[in-house]
Structure 1
């Protein structure tokens, strides 16, 4: 039972419609957090006690600020956010999505006065030998440096998503003993610990789920 004297931690999640997104929802709800899944379709997720759904987009700062108002933290799992069709056809579509989404989050959270932001994605474009154009990446890194938010970038766990095998909330209710389910829940626990404890603010990290 939740201790009524302890304020409930309010988390907003972008990217819930994915295997790791489902694991994050299940784990956050098990901690008795108040969880809002930000989606493009309010009927996209299975109902679950304590889970709220809200329309949310990462197209611009205004949309982001309206989606996250009142939250303690925002967690964005970019691999779980569908690419727009025009980006899916391009080799740099994922970076383009990250560029727009992170910019919208940085500005939107500042407007909504939400201090904590954690983004889980492929941040290979930050590496010097990534092959991505240097200028957009440098511009985005400067945006991060200039932001007053307590942000953390976490490299997306390898193998979290399997094409055509998206695990839903029901899969986690029924299959705790399956290796893939157990691995995803371990990753979710480690990521939510980092989000809540903020041990690596303003850093890029690889979250360790082994412990």
Structure 2
């Protein structure tokens, strides 16, 4: 049963099988948020109470638009993406959100490895980064870039269950990051900024 004192936020997670995606799902369900796993194969994730599965990928504007309609926040876990694929996938995410109109666009969290964008000494990286920054700035959307720390691969929702003292150190690190991101959404922090997660006790800067 939903606690009436809990804000009813509707969240979506692209690449939900990523370790951080799984941590986000676990943390969101614990907070009694409505969470949707957005993926191109509905059989690719284990069903569990409170979790919706919706068809969605970052391959086209239309699939993004349909996947994120009605959501308050969207987390795109891009840490496993090839760098050369990021501009196109980020572009589809931005354009899909814009297609919903000002009233329907959710808060966007682009979570990945952004060192090349923030501090690059390569001309190709600089060009990619400049293009992405222009797209984000010109969009007028409510977005945050998130620099994530290295996390263990292969973590699953069940790794985050139990008391805090029984969760493994790698799972605890991922869960701290997920909790920090959900706090960012709930409190409306770091809009139009690049946020760096330290992965320890929800640390960020």
State how many pairs are aligned. 195
TM-score, normalised to structure 1, is 0.84
- Contact 1:124 1:130 (C-alpha < 8 Å) held by counterparts: no
Deviation at 1:142, TM superposition (A): 0.6
Is 1:99 aligned with 2:90? no
Out of 105, 118, 121, the position equivalent to 1:114 is 105
The secondary structure found in structure 1 opposite 2:91 is: helix
Where does residue 41 of structure 2 map in the other structure?
41
Partners of 2:37 and 2:144 lie apart in 1 by 20
Shift in Å, 1:17: 0.4
2:179 is matched with 189
SS in 2 for 1:120: strand
5+ residue gaps in structure 2?
A: none
> How far 1:132 sits from its partner (Å)?
5.2
Please say if 1:147 is aligned against 2:139.
yes
| Cα shift readout 1:4-27 (whole Å, capped 9, x = no counterpart) | 476620001012102111111000
TM-score, normalisation: structure 2? 0.86
Structure 2 CA distance for aligned equivalents of residues 132 and 174 of structure 1: 47
Structure possessing the higher relative contact order (Cα contacts under 8 Å, 6 or more residues apart): 1
Give distance in 1, aligned partners of 2:46 and 2:139.
35
Instruction: Find the aligned partners of 1:109 and 1:190 in 2 and give their Cα distance.
Output: 23
Contact 1:46 1:169 in 2 (8 A): no
- The yes-or-no answer on 1:129 pairing with 2:115 is no
2:29–2:51 CA contact under 8 A, matched in 1: yes
Deviates more, 1:94-103 or 1:31-40: 94-103
